[in-house]
Amino acid sequence: MPKVLIIEDEPLAAKRLTRLLGQIDSSIEILDVLDSVKTSVEWLSKHEAELIFLDIHLADGNSFSIFDEVQPKTPIIFCTAYDQYALQAFRLNSIHYLLKPIEKEELEHALNKFEDQKAKAAPIDLAALTKAFQQKEEPEYQKRFLVSSGDKIKSIPVEEVSYFFGQQKYAFLITEDKRRHIIDSTLGKLENVVDPKQFFRINRQYLIKYDAIKTMYSHSKSRIKVELEPPGDIEAIVSMEKTRLFKEWLNR
């Protein structure tokens, strides 16, 4: 298993990734955990890793600016919370990505892909990757959602959706008129097909639409409590690892 460099400015996300890597294979060696463009450039100028986990948004800027200073040949697995442009870029350039919060199964799949491609891996085309990341064309998002109620099937326009809610093995679509529908999907999959400017995954239970936010309150441990309209079954509290990104999303 590889010697790994983690570039991630969220301490909780970095700890989670480190823990999951250890659970998957205790022989994986974490060389360092960095949290900024500056420290990453300095480290990569002097050292080499066999695999890099790279967050898109760092404390001092976009992580793609690292490549303006150094040109690592190391395979990179990108980590992102909601950036659809990034997802397009990774697909175009055959570079793996992981969506936050990172799940163990997805991480294991990424590591297996790395091992499979290691012997035949081609150099990373950073110029093409950056160009794809910066493209202006808007990605296509899902406009309607198929839901079921008993033997009835209905297609609901995204304009009528307030939020998606996950509970146990089921996912529900909640409409503005307070109707609740079972949807044959998961919040993780839904997060990939909705417009990230409109929707945000605040925790494991809720993928909310901006227009559904009625009120927000300060909560314990610097978290945020969101009052939704219509109200949810359980409290909608932004998880600690999502709080900073949620605030950035609100300021978009």
CATH number at residue 83: 3.40.50.2300
Question: Which CATH number is 196's domain given?
Answer: 2.40.50.1020
- The last residue of a domain, from among 94, 113, 133: 133
**pLDDT score, position 188:** 86
How far apart are alpha carbons 213 and 136 in whole angstroms? 29
User: Which of 30-34, 67-71, 114-118, 190-194 is predicted with the least confidence, judged by mean pLDDT?
Assistant: 114-118
pLDDT, tens digit, for every residue of 203-240? 999 999 999 999 999 998 889 999 999 999 899 999 98
Give 29-50 as a DSSP string.
EEEEEE-SHHHHHHHHHH---S
| Torsion from C-alpha of 12, 249, 91, 6, nearest 10 degrees | -20
Preceding peptide of 75 cis, ω within 30°: no
What would the pLDDT profile of 64-108 be if each residue is shown by its tens digit? 888 888 888 788 888 877 555 555 555 544 467 788 888 899 899
Q: Are the C-beta atoms of 93 and 128 separated by less than 8 Å?
A: yes
Statement to judge: residues 88 and 189 lie in one domain: no
Q: Identify the residue whose tokens are 């008129």.
A: 177
Structural domain includes residue 225? yes
Are residue 17 and residue 122 in the same domain, yes or no? yes
How many folded domains does the chain comprise? Answer: 2
Q: Quote the tokens at residue 19.
A: 């823990």
Percent of the chain with pLDDT over 90: 51
DSSP state of 238: -
- Assess if residue 138 is contained within a domain: no
Give domain status of residue 139, yes or no: no
Task: Establish if 12 belongs to a structural domain.
Answer: yes
With cut-offs at 50, 70 and 90, classify the pLDDT of residue 192: confident
Looking at 133, 166, 200, which one is the last position of a domain?
Answer: 133
Judge if 43 and 153 occupy the same domain.
no
Question: Per-residue pLDDT tens for 126-179?
Answer: 666 666 555 544 567 899 999 987 788 899 999 999 999 998 888 999 999 999
pLDDT of residue 136: 45
Query: CB neighbours (10 Å) of residue 11?
Result: 12
Query: Is 197 a domain residue?
Result: yes
Domain identity same for 52 and 163: no
Closest to 11 (Cα-Cα) out of 204, 247, 244, 224: 244
Q: With H, G, I as helix, E, B as strand and everything else as coil, classify residue 68.
A: helix
Q: Which of 100, 133, 166 is the last residue of a domain?
A: 133
How many Å separate Cα 233 from the centre of its chain? 25
Furthest-apart CA atoms within the chain: distance in Å: 63
Predicted TM-score (pTM) above 0.75:
no
Separation CA 58–CA 76 (nearest Å): 16
Q: Identify the domain containing residue 154 by its residue range.
A: 144-250
User: Rounded to whole angstroms, what are the CA distances from 177 to 44, 215, 224, 231?
Assistant: 53, 18, 25, 11
For residues 121 and 150, membership in a common domain is answered with: no
